[in-house]
């Protein structure tokens, strides 16, 4: 099923993101994570691909596993920063042969020391145009409520999103954020700028307080004081941090849905038990 049809069906949706293991480690563990996540009955499962397209073949096989073995619609991430046209077309053919109809088309992060893309595709929108011309896929893209770290201004970043939409992007998934007001202001700005595709709000349950400062620094995400206090207080007590992280994400989602956000994407970090706790807390809201 195409994700745009799931998003336009008029219900609140919750989807889950998983990542494939690096080359050299077994795929069987990741398949188990896919099947445990599928049991939660998410609206769709997305599978990331490693930086610069590494693990791309594993993204394709796990997307196939989610959809064809576990029966949940799959969204395969595809990056283009160091890809040639032939390799991209090869991946598109593989995805099509597995019946996968949804791609999150991304540029990917610049390798360290590089200031602009060196491959055939410069921006995610170039990849989107390629996929659109290939045909048959529902294309999604990434967006950044606090601005992409390379953009001079938030408005410049939003204007570039309009190019993505013009190149065939049907929906946008946000970078994680911990302050819902940031998302509400951003959604208002998107609409005012003519970016009117469905927005899927990316929520990350933080269950490891030690990782969060590094993740926020890399993604440019701000930590609101209320959240920082939780991390400061509980990060040295793993079980308490899990409870607090699940509670924070649960409350964050309740507030999002209460304010009219219809689509939530959980950055599960391959932890179906954590996603399961949140989804069970919200079972009536997602019913």
The catalytic residues are 17
Is the Cβ of residue 142 or residue 212 nearer to ligand FAD in the bound state? 142
- Minimal distance, residue 267 CB to ligand FAD, in Å: 8
Q: Which tokens hold the place of 192? A: 């005012």
- Minimal distance, residue 284 CB to ligand FAD, in Å: 27
Site residues (vs ligand FAD, CB under 6 A): 48-49, 51, 77, 79, 106-109, 123-125, 142, 148, 150-151, 157, 160, 163, 173, 175, 202
Separation between Cα atoms, residue 220 and residue 118, nearest integer Å: 24
- Minimal distance, residue 203 CB to ligand FAD, in Å: 11
Contacts of 128 (CB under 8 A, 6+ apart): 105, 139, 141, 164, 167, 168, 169
Contact predicate 163/173, CB 8 Å = no
- Minimal distance, residue 257 CB to ligand FAD, in Å: 19
Contact predicate 99/69, CB 8 Å = no
First to last CA, the chain: 20
Backbone angles phi, psi at 276, to 5 degrees: -65, -40
Contact predicate 83/120, CB 8 Å = yes
Is the Cβ of residue 37 or residue 48 nearer to ligand FAD in the bound state? 48
Is the Cβ of residue 81 or residue 244 nearer to ligand FAD in the bound state? 81
Is the Cβ of residue 43 or residue 235 nearer to ligand FAD in the bound state? 43
């Amino acid at each position: 099923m195409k994700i745009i049809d799931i998003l336009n069906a008029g219900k609140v949706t919750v989807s889950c993101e998983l990542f494939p293991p690096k080359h050299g480690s077994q795929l069987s563990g990741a398949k188990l994570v896919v099947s445990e996540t599928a049991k939660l009955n998410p609206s769709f499962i997305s599978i990331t691909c490693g930086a610069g397209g590494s693990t791309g073949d594993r993204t394709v096989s796990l997307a196939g596993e989610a959809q064809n073995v576990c029966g949940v619609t799959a969204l395969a991430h595809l990056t283009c920063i160091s890809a040639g046209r032939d390799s991209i077309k090869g991946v598109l053919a593989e995805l099509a042969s597995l019946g996968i109809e949804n791609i999150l088309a991304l540029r990917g992060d610049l390798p360290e020391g590089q200031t602009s893309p060196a491959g055939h595709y410069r921006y995610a929108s170039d990849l989107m145009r390629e996929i659109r011309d290939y045909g048959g896929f529902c294309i999604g893209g990434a967006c950044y409520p606090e601005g992409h770290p390379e953009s001079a201004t938030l408005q410049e970043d939003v204007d570039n999103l309009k190019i993505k939409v013009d190149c065939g992007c049907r929906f946008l998934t946000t970078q994680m954020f911990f302050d819902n007001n940031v998302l509400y202001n951003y959604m208002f700005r998107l609409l005012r700028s003519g970016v009117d595709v469905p927005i899927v709000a990316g929520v990350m349950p933080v269950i490891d307080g030690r990782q969060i400062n590094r993740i926020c620094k890399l993604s440019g995400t701000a930590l609101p004081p209320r959240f920082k206090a939780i991390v400061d207080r509980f990060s040295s007590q793993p079980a308490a941090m899990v409870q607090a992280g699940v509670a924070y994400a649960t409350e964050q989602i309740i507030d999002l849905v209460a304010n009219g956000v219809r689509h939530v994407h959980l950055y599960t970090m391959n932890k179906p038990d954590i996603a399961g706790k949140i989804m069970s807390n919200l079972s009536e809201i997602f019913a």
